[in-house]
Amino acid sequence: MAVPKRKMSRSNTRSRRAQWKATAPTLVLCPNRACGEMVLPHTACHNCGQYNGKQVLSV
């Protein structure tokens, strides 16, 4: 098992952790023109219940 030979300095640890970024989720407009809600891509709309032009959820 690999074990570090020296303690990692605070600046090296913090500069490595500085790359941990949370990205905002990608949102697209609902294809239903009457709805126009922002939804995740490739998912059914929670507002109108449509996916790919078809009603898939009863709202």
Mean pLDDT of the chain: 91
Would you state the structure tokens that stand for residue 57, as one six-digit string? Answer: 């959820």
| Cβ-contact 30, 47 below 8 angstroms | yes
Q: Is the dihedral of CA 26, 28, 30, 31 positive or negative?
A: negative
What confidence category does residue 51 fall into, taking pLDDT thresholds of 50, 70 and 90? very high
Residue 47 has pLDDT above 90, yes or no: yes
pLDDT for position 22: 87
Q: Does the global pTM surpass 0.75?
A: no
